[in-house]
């Protein structure tokens, strides 16, 4: 079941981040996220009160999380989007995380499907997301779901981590 995250989910969400980043430190990384830098417990602490964080819960356990909102970072202005829109016309997926012990169960697909349905309900024209340019599993998930790569851009994650991002879009 996918639902809005609540305050009692904060630690469980942070644990999924830590599980993923600890795993990536040991086995190699697809993301450019860094343990203790981003994402951290601050993400759910800040986003849950805004009503923009969602979790996939199964048997009482948090299996995935994401943020859905209309916020587009400055870098989004540098991309030549095919599907125009601003503000509430665009739904943006942020920080979609599935811990390694939950990978391969279709949770990413469920989260993307939920986001698409949510965007339709809101009357959005399109959806956007950015991901690390070398995160092939994430890019594959989004492209398999009809997203197209709109462009690439170099920036700093949390003002600290140099990264090349792939920007993807989906027409609603």
pLDDT above 80 (res 160): no
Q: What is the pLDDT of residue 158?
A: 62
Distances in Å between the Cα of 152 and the Cα atoms of 30, 78, 101, 129, 145 are 17, 9, 30, 12, 19
pLDDT above 80 (res 162): no
pLDDT above 90 (res 41): yes
User: From CA 72, how far away is CA 161, in angstroms rounded?
Assistant: 18
pLDDT band at 66 (very low <50, low <70, confident <90, very high): very high
Contacts of 136 (CB under 8 A, 6+ apart): 30
Beta partners for 132?
A: 165
The CA-based angle 55-43-28, given to 5 degrees, is 85
Distances in Å between the Cα of 42 and the Cα atoms of 11, 22, 52, 71, 86 are 10, 18, 14, 17, 27
User: From CA 122, how far away is CA 153, in angstroms rounded?
Assistant: 28
Q: What is the pLDDT of residue 161?
A: 67
Closest CA to 57 of 16, 104, 27: 16
User: From CA 123, how far away is CA 74, in angstroms rounded?
Assistant: 23
């Amino acid at each position: 079941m996918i639902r809005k995250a609540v305050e009692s989910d904060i630690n469980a969400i942070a644990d999924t981040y830590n599980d993923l980043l600890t795993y990536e430190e040991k086995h190699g990384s697809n993301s450019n996220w860094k343990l203790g830098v981003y994402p951290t417990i601050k993400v759910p602490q800040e986003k849950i009160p805004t009503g923009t964080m969602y979790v996939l819960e199964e048997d009482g356990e948090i299996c995935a999380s994401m943020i859905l909102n209309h916020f587009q970072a400055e870098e989004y202005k540098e991309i030549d989007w095919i599907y125009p829109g601003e503000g509430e016309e665009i739904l943006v997926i942020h920080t979609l995380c599935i811990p390694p012990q939950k990978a391969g169960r279709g949770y990413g697909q469920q989260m993307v499907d939920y986001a698409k349905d949510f965007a339709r309900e809101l009357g959005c024209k399109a959806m956007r997301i950015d991901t690390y340019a070398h995160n092939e599993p994430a890019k594959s998930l989004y492209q398999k779901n009809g997203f197209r790569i709109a462009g690439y851009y170099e920036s700093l994650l949390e003002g600290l981590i140099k990264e090349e991002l792939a920007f993807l879009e989906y027409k609603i």
